[in-house]
Amino acid sequence: MELFRPFEVFFSGVGEHPSLGATHIGLYAALYYLYLRNACQDPLMIRRRQVMELAKIRGVATFHKCMNDLCEAGYIRYEGIKNPARRSRVWLDTV
């Protein structure tokens, strides 16, 4: 897979989704940063707190809403884990 493919797909289509705003873009940018640090391997194993800090999101409800919105728009696949000892999984290579 090409290194920038998920990033290009996201930014070429985000304008077509009026429900996606700056918070969604910040969240996706944080996920993409972690994706690059993970050698572009899916799935990403994430901790909500770390992603929220990177994306400058303060509220847990905002985080979950934005993650769900990105899933519904087809930009990511997200499997949230409620156990704080385990990490949630995110796939960016959904296209």
Handedness of CA 49, 55, 60, 63 (dihedral sign): negative
Enumerate domains of the chain plus CATH numbers: 5-12+21-91 (1.10.10)
Residue 50's pLDDT is 94
Handedness of CA 53, 57, 59, 61 (dihedral sign): negative
Residue 10's pLDDT is 87
| 67 vs 57: CA distance, rounded Å | 12
Angle, alpha carbons 41-72-65 (nearest 5°) = 95
Residue 37's pLDDT is 94
| 55 vs 48: CA distance, rounded Å | 10
Q: In a structure prediction context, what are the per-residue pLDDT tens digits for the chain, which is 95 residues long?
A: 576 778 888 888 888 888 999 999 999 999 999 999 999 889 999 999 999 999 999 999 999 999 999 999 999 999 999 887 899 999 987 65
Residue 94's pLDDT is 64
